[in-house]
Amino acid sequence: MDGLGRDVLRVGLVLLALVAVVVILVGSGWYVWSILRQSREAPVPSLEITVSGVEEALLDVYLSRRQEEIQTPADDDPTPVTFTVRPGETAADIAARLQRQGLIRDAELFRLVLRARGVDTQLEAGDYQLRANMTMEEIIAVLQHGRPPTTAVTVPEGWRAEEIAAFLSKKGLVDGAEFLRLVEEGNFDYDFLQDRPPDHRSLEGYLFPDTYQIPVNFTTAQVVDLMLRAFGQRFTPEMRQQAAERGLTIHEVVTLASIVEREAVVDSERPTIASVFLNRLAAGMKLDADPTVQYALGYQEDESTWWKRPLFLEDLEVESPYNTYRNVGLPPGPICSPGLASLQAVLEPAETDYYFFLAVGDGSHVFARTYEEHLENQSKYRE
């Protein structure tokens, strides 16, 4: 609050006090005089002594002088910030924390605006998504009216970013093009993103598949952030420790889990499928994973799908760093968003000496230790 503003407010409060004293004295004298003049049967006139009107008038004058500050955001940063209003917290406490978090510039001015609007006791406890580029009035509206309406959506396991973008765009929750731009170029500060290769900064694989209640007023960036935050919550410290014990980075775990996600149809097979890929990696063998070829091929116009089926021999020759039929080791990054079960399968694989598997008609797989056994399975199940 500037010096002139404080002087105006101080003078106003002094005048208010003087007015209050005069009103009370006059009112008291009138009341006594009325008692003396009226008979016992006559009603005593009612006099409501209030100074709130004077106070409100002075406060309105003061705030009108500071409208530019009230309507100017603290910053132009559009990054969502989670702000928690705690049960029983006073308006002054809330204002002070808003200022400390850089969401407003003047806690006292914010408190006076709350008071003038008559909502200083109507701020609901809960978690809110605020931004530094919101005005005081916009922040008050969010805190006063609580959480905005939400839309429930379920993002399934195994979708690539383009499928997620199209789905959420159809629901009216994101701008599809902006969503994909953020997936490729967005700068989100989560520690689990730090070990991505310098030449692969995509968020593919980290958009956690789950059921979400998404506020209808969320920006596209907020939706992406929500999904990343869910990944951070579900990929626990214990899982990070397991990855380290296996000599894997988080990025490697997510990448391999995304392949397991696309390969597995039967849930119980995930740990066994993961063991096959881990065994092949340890032996320096190519993964020969069909889903990586499907990812490399991209959208199939004639089939209206991102996952081509069936694959032909010429498809396995596609030039791409994602094609694990041509390249040894893991692809540069995930090929889809793996679910928790696939992540856990990579961290807790079955103990096997399998190096091959073959999908059969019902979606399950048969496993083999040697290439000869694998050929026998092909003859048996593909006749």
Residue 161, pLDDT > 50, answer yes
Q: Cβ neighbours of residue 81 under 8 Å, at least 6 residues apart?
A: 101, 103, 129, 130, 131, 132
Phi, psi (rounded to 5 degrees) for 126: 150, 180
pLDDT digits (tens, 9 = 90+) for 296-346: 999 999 999 999 999 999 999 999 999 999 999 999 999 999 999 999 999
CA–CA dist 21, 51 (Å, integer)? 10
Which long-range CB contacts under 8 A does 358-366 form with residues at least 24 apart?
359/265, 363/265, 363/266, 364/265, 364/266, 364/269, 365/266, 365/269, 365/272, 365/273
CA dihedral 30, 36, 38, 42 (to 10 degrees): 90
Greater confidence, 333 or 20?
A: 333
In the chain, where the domains are located:
3-65, 81-145, 151-234, 247-381
Give pTM, 2 decimals: 0.66
**pLDDT for residue 36:** 41
**Predicted pLDDT of residue 143:** 87
Most confident of 4-18, 135-149, 252-266, 349-363: 252-266
> pLDDT for 186-203, tens place per residue?
999 999 999 999 988 999
What confidence score (pLDDT) does residue 6 get?
Answer: 53
pLDDT of residue 174: 95
Q: How far is CA 126 from CA 88, 98, 111, 213, in A?
A: 11, 14, 19, 15
Chain mean pLDDT for the chain: 87
For position 383, what pLDDT does the model report? Answer: 63
Under the banding of pLDDT at 50, 70 and 90, the label for residue 61 is confident
pLDDT at residue 41 above 90?
no
Nearest to 213 by CA among 199, 233, 230, 201: 230
In CATH terms, the fold of domain 81-145 is Dna Ligase; domain 1 (3.30.1490)
| 228 against 24, higher pLDDT | 228
